[in-house]
Amino acid sequence: MKIAVIGAGAMGCLYGAYLSQHHQVIMIDALKEQVEAINQGGIVMTEANGEQRTFSGVSAYVSGECEQAVDVVIVFVKSTYTQVALEQNRALFKPTTLVMTLQNGAGNDRLIEQYVDKHNIIIGTSKHNAVNLTRGQIKHPASGVTTIGSNFNAEQQIQTAAQLLEQAGFAIDVTDDIQRIIWSKLLVNLSVNTFTAITQTPIGYMLKNQHAWDFAKRLIYEAIEVAEADGTYFDRREALEMVKSVCETAGGGYSSMYQDRKNHVKMEIDAINGAIVEQAKRYGVPTPYNTLIVDLIHAIEGAYDIYG
């Protein structure tokens, strides 16, 4: 199959590298330097055990410059750039193209519907952790399950996606309740990502400090109120244990939002905590903690050019 990965960041490179072992993979990215590095040296990955692997069977294009229609598109850009990335890369899509979003946040699938048949859209989450080291080089400190599903009757498409990923070595879980999975991932991201971005600490630190954990609980409980108003119910104790498990598994890793702050990149707060705030408005659920966090992250972004 011919596969395009839009977004050649750490996670995009991780999936693109593994898929390139059996398929033709095209990496798409807005950063010219990243594209050149991948074309010159492939994707270089350092695994958790220290093993370094080079995946040279990939090609890369600057966003908007690839004119080849593909069989599968995997979207891994930051949620804030989804619309722009899809618009720039319209040439990748044909009527039968399968599109899978493994992005953080909520609502990306609704944007993708503007470009492909909704039955060809696979929604998913990944429990892998990957970190950018330098151009074309990533670290893969933690592995986990990739969960996929659909909002529509798309059994054949889901099966195709599952087989594709399993062949590449990914552990796959197919679910009939993908919205619950999306909400679960949001509960993790809205607490872990935002905390590590604000404090600039590894993921595991949130469990080592009671003030940090209290911070997480306030955001999680508030988001659960919104999820339940939307029709997805959670046991609060189980939700906290889920977040704890992520912090333990990826304790030494760094969240994508932390990496964005470090690199002075716009963070995905509007698609994570911001998605909670916007959804809450539909149901009249108060979200003072998540609203505060959205404002705080945007204030940090505003200081990039002032304080470095």
> pTM for the complete prediction?
0.78
Pairing of strands 98-101, 72-75: parallel
Helices (H) and strands (E) in the chain, counts: 13, 12
Output the average pLDDT for the chain. Answer: 93
pLDDT at 230: 85
> Cα separation of 32 and 28, whole Å?
10
Condensed to tens digits (0 to 9), the pLDDT of residues 89-126 reads 999 999 999 999 998 777 788 889 999 999 999 999 99
Whether residues 135 and 65 fall in one domain: yes
**Domain boundary at 130, 150, 176, which?**
176
DSSP state at residue 148 = E
DSSP state of 205: G
Burial (Cβ within 10 Å: 0-12, 13-18, ≥19) of residue 77: buried
Please write the tens of the pLDDT for every residue from 219-235. 999 999 999 998 889 99
Statement to judge: residues 167 and 48 lie in one domain: yes
Q: Which tops the pLDDT comparison, 131 or 106?
A: 131
171 or 178, which is more confident?
Answer: 171
pLDDT tens-digit map of 261-283: 999 988 989 889 998 998 899 89
User: How confident is the model at residue 88, as a pLDDT?
Assistant: 97
Q: 129-134 and 171-174: which strand pairing?
A: unpaired
The CATH code of the domain that includes 281 is 1.10.1040.10
Task: Answer yes or no: is pLDDT of 127 > 80.
Answer: yes
Cα separations in angstroms, 169 against 16, 44, 98, 103, 166: 12, 17, 20, 19, 5
Judge whether 108 and 130 are in contact, CB under 8 Å. no
Do 158 and 236 share a domain, yes or no? no
Alpha carbon distances (Å) from 163 to 155, 231, 262? 12, 31, 36
Residues 21 and 154 in one domain: yes
Residues in the chain, how many?
308
pLDDT at residue number 64 = 96
What phi and psi values does residue 218 have, to the nearest 5 degrees? -60, -45
pLDDT of residue 287: 97
> What tokens appear for 148 in the block?
């996929």
- φ, ψ for residue 294, nearest 5 deg: -60, -45
- How far apart, in whole angstroms, are the C-alpha atoms of residue 243 and residue 229? 21
Does one domain contain both 97 and 141? Answer: yes
State residue 110's pLDDT score.
Answer: 83
DSSP 23: S
Residues 7 and 154 placed together within one structural domain of the fold: yes
Say if residue 35 is in the same domain as residue 47. Answer: yes
One domain, residues 198 and 160: no
Helices within the chain (DSSP H only) = 10-19, 32-41, 82-88, 108-112, 155-167, 178-188, 194-199, 210-229, 236-249, 256-262, 273-283, 288-302, 304-307
User: What percent of the chain shows pLDDT beyond 70?
Assistant: 99
Are β-strands 145-149 and 121-126 bridged in parallel, bridged antiparallel, or unpaired?
Answer: antiparallel
Residue 9 and residue 118 in one domain? yes
Give the whole-number percent of the chain exceeding pLDDT 90: 77
52 and 83 housed in the same domain: yes
Last residue of a domain, one of 116, 149, 176: 176
Q: Helix, strand or coil for residue 270?
A: helix
* Domain span including residue 32: 2-176
pLDDT at 149 over 90: yes
Domain count, the chain: 2
pLDDT reading at 86 higher than 90:
yes
At 106, which CATH number?
A: 3.40.50.720
Same domain, yes or no: 126 and 183? no
Last residue of some domain: 159, 176, 193?
Answer: 176
Q: How confident is the model at residue 308 (pLDDT cuts 50, 70, 90)?
A: low
In the prediction, which pLDDT does 26 show?
98
Neighbours of 233 (CB within 10 A): 10
Q: Are residues 97 and 41 in the same domain?
A: yes
pLDDT in tens, 231-241: 889 999 999 99
